[in-house]
């Protein structure tokens, strides 16, 4: 047995795992080889040092940290659809949804009432056909108008965009295509001008 | 770690959460010690030990009593986490890995494992100067362990610090028995060379 082979048997010899014959050969080599003897002594002492190492103790908050991490891990392991079902089943979600729905209905109703609220001694009447612009047969009906304190205002909803209607306005016969700048005709048919009229919302008390 | 752990795992599979609490209480100390000695860092050791328990909890239903010892299963999970952590540290470049020396690291602050030594309970009968010597020696051992390559470090810690038998270590690390034995012997030889200055001479012992 050479020095390399002896070194390979250090652990086995230290832990008494060599058979009788090998142990004899090993010990015989050590007795005659100062280098291996010294090497084995250092080997045994360093293993002893390892065995003397103190244990590392867990910190006091180890258990509490682990508990919270385990709780999170349990939540993560539940499929999303099960978590959703569990949330739907819980009473608090239903209560929250009911409250949210109530608030939403109240808000919509409030906005509606606010927009239709008129106060004071305003006289409200529906426009008569005589008061509408001078329109002819190709017209589309203009938006309904109401009279408030002797002035006509549109009553379309503020949420509806401006309405564009076309109408034919009677125009007296004239010589040459001369028109006021403000009323540029799009098409002239005999004595009629096709105009595009935009009906916009007039602000109400609500300030829209 | 015994048959009681197997029984506790069976109870855990049946939904007994207290059984798992008991498993944690029985195994947290050896697990933290194993990972702490491997990484040389108590905070990371506790983090990985907790991760090991979480993985065990999640895989509790797949645990088969009798297929392997409970401790083998536990150390196998922990060893894999340790290897991953070491690789991640190597990628991040903020720690040593395998044969890369820690001299550069120690050059700035010779404190690898210092917090681990600080946690060690000092023997009451020791004199202050002896305590200091012992602390230095333990720090040197921890540094020497941390310098070992991973493939030698794991079996060495399992054998000499966790007192596992060769057969179990070979199962934990998925190695043949002969390879396990030779690696442990090789690791001890490497450790001996690193600890020459701290090992007491036979005539002074």
Q: Does A112 touch chain B (CB under 8 A)?
A: no
Beta carbons of A114 and A207 less than 8 angstroms apart: no
User: Could you please report the per-residue DSSP string of A16-76?
Assistant: T-S-HHHHHHHHHHHHH-HHHHHHHHHHHHHHHHHHTPPPPPPPTTHHHHHHHHHHHHHHH
Residue B200 lies in a domain: no
For β-strands A187-189 and A192-199, DSSP reports them as antiparallel
Please report, to the nearest 10 degrees, the dihedral formed by the alpha carbons of residues B16, A59, B172, B68 taken in order: -20
Counting the structural domains of chain B, the total is: 1
Q: Cβ separation of B45 and A7 shorter than 8 Å?
A: no
Partner residue facing B24 (CB), from A46, A66, A77: A66
Contacts of B42 (CB under 8 A, 6+ apart): A56, A59, B32, B36, B115, B116, B119
Partner residue facing A56 (CB), from B37, B57, B185: B37
H helices present in B40-160, as ranges: 42-58, 70-92, 103-108, 114-119, 128-147, 150-156
At residue A103 the predicted structure's pLDDT band, cuts being 50, 70 and 90, is very high
Residue B188 lies in a domain: yes
> Chain A 27-46, CB below 8 Å of chain B: which residues?
39, 41-43, 45-46
Size of interface A-B (CB pairs under 8 A): 100
Report how far Cα B89 is from the mean position of its chain's Cα atoms. Answer: 17
Amino acid B11: pLDDT? 87
C-alpha span between B88 and B44 (Å, rounded):
12
More confident residue, A157 or B82: B82
More confident residue, A200 or B75: B75
- Which CATH number do you get for residue B83? 1.10.1740.10
Q: Does A5 touch chain B (CB under 8 A)?
A: no
Q: What is the pLDDT of residues A30-81, one digit of tens each?
A: 999 999 999 999 999 999 999 989 999 999 999 999 988 888 877 776 677 7
> How many other β-carbons are positioned within 10 Å of the β-carbon of residue B44?
17
**CA distance to partner chain A, nearest, from residue B188 (Å):** 7
Q: Which domain holds residue B163?
A: 3-194
Residue B129 lies in a domain: yes
What is the full per-residue pLDDT of chain B (205 aa) written as tens digits? 567 888 888 888 888 878 888 999 999 999 999 999 999 888 889 999 999 999 998 888 888 777 778 899 999 999 999 999 988 887 766 544 343 333 433 334 444 455 555 555 555 555 677 788 888 888 899 999 999 999 999 999 999 999 999 999 999 999 999 999 999 999 999 999 998 887 765 544 4
Beta carbons of B81 and B46 less than 8 angstroms apart: no
Q: Cβ separation of B116 and A11 shorter than 8 Å?
A: no
Residue B201 lies in a domain: no
Amino acid B127: pLDDT? 67
Burial class (CB in 10 A: 0-12, 13-18, 19+), A37: middle
Tokens of A73: 């891990």
Report how far Cα B131 is from the mean position of its chain's Cα atoms. Answer: 24
Q: How many residues does chain B have?
A: 205
Amino acid A113: pLDDT? 79
Residue A39's closest chain B neighbor by CA?
A: B192
Predicted interface score ipTM higher than 0.85? no
Q: Does the pLDDT value for residue A121 go beyond 50?
A: no
Residue B117 lies in a domain: yes
Bridge partners, A195 (sequence order): A167
For β-strands A145-148 and A187-189, DSSP reports them as unpaired
For β-strands A145-148 and A124-126, DSSP reports them as antiparallel
| Interior/surface letters A87-117, b for 16+ CB within 10 angstroms, e for the rest | eeeeeeeeeeeeeeeeeeeeeeeeeeeebee
Partner residue facing B32 (CB), from A12, A54, A56: A56
Residue B203 lies in a domain: no
Amino acid A82: pLDDT? 74
Closest CA to A134 of A172, A90, A99, A174: A172
Residue B199 lies in a domain: no
Amino acid A135: pLDDT? 42
Residue A72's closest chain B neighbor by CA?
A: B54
Tracing tokens 């390879």 back to the chain, one arrives at: B179
Report the residue of A36, A58, A65, A77 to disrupt the B interface, i.e. the one with the largest count of B CBs within 10 Å. A58
Q: Cβ separation of A70 and B182 shorter than 8 Å?
A: no
**CA distance to partner chain A, nearest, from residue B98 (Å):** 20
């Amino acid at each position: 047995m050479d020095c390399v082979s002896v070194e390979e048997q250090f652990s086995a010899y230290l832990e008494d795992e060599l058979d009788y014959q090998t142990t004899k050969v090993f010990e015989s080599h050590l007795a005659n080889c100062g280098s291996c003897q010294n090497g084995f002594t250092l080997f045994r002492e360093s293993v002893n040092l390892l065995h003397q190492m103190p244990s590392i103790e867990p910190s006091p908050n180890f258990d509490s940290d682990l508990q919270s991490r385990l709780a999170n891990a349990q939540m993560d392991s539940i499929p999303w659809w099960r978590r959703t079902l569990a949330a739907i089943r819980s009473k608090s979600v239903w209560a929250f949804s009911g409250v949210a729905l109530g608030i939403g209905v109240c808000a919509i109703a409030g906005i509606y009432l606010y927009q239709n609220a008129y106060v004071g001694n305003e006289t409200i009447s529906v426009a008569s056909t005589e008061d509408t612009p001078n329109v002819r047969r190709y017209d589309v009906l203009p938006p309904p108008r109401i009279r408030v304190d002797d002035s006509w205002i549109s009553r379309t909803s503020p949420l509806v965009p401006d309405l564009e209607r076309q109408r034919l306005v009677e125009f007296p016969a004239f010589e040459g295509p001369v028109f006021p700048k403000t009323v540029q005709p799009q098409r002239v048919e005999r004595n009629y001008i096709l105009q595009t009229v935009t009906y916009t919302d007039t602000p109400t008390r609500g300030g829209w | 770690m015994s048959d009681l752990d197997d029984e506790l795992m069976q109870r855990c599979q049946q939904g007994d959460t207290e059984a798992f609490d008991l498993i944690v209480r029985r195994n947290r100390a050896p697990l933290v010690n194993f990972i702490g000695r491997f990484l040389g860092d108590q905070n990371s050791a506790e983090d990985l030990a907790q991760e090991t328990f979480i993985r065990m909890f999640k895989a509790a239903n797949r645990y088969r009593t009798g297929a392997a010892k409970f401790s083998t299963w536990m150390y196998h999970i922990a060893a894999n986490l340790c290897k991953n952590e070491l690789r991640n540290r190597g990628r991040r470049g903020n720690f040593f890995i395998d044969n890369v020396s820690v001299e550069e690291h120690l050059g700035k602050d010779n404190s690898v494992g210092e917090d681990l030594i600080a946690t060690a309970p000092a023997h009451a009968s020791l004199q202050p100067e002896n305590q200091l010597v012992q602390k230095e020696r333990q720090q040197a051992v921890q540094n020497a362990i941390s310098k070992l390559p991973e493939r030698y470090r794991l079996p060495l810690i399992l054998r000499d610090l966790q007192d596992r038998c060769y057969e179990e270590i070979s199962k934990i690390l998925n190695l043949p028995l002969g390879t396990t034995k030779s690696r442990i012997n090789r690791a001890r030889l490497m450790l001996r060379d690193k600890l020459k200055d701290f090992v007491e001479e036979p005539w002074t012992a």
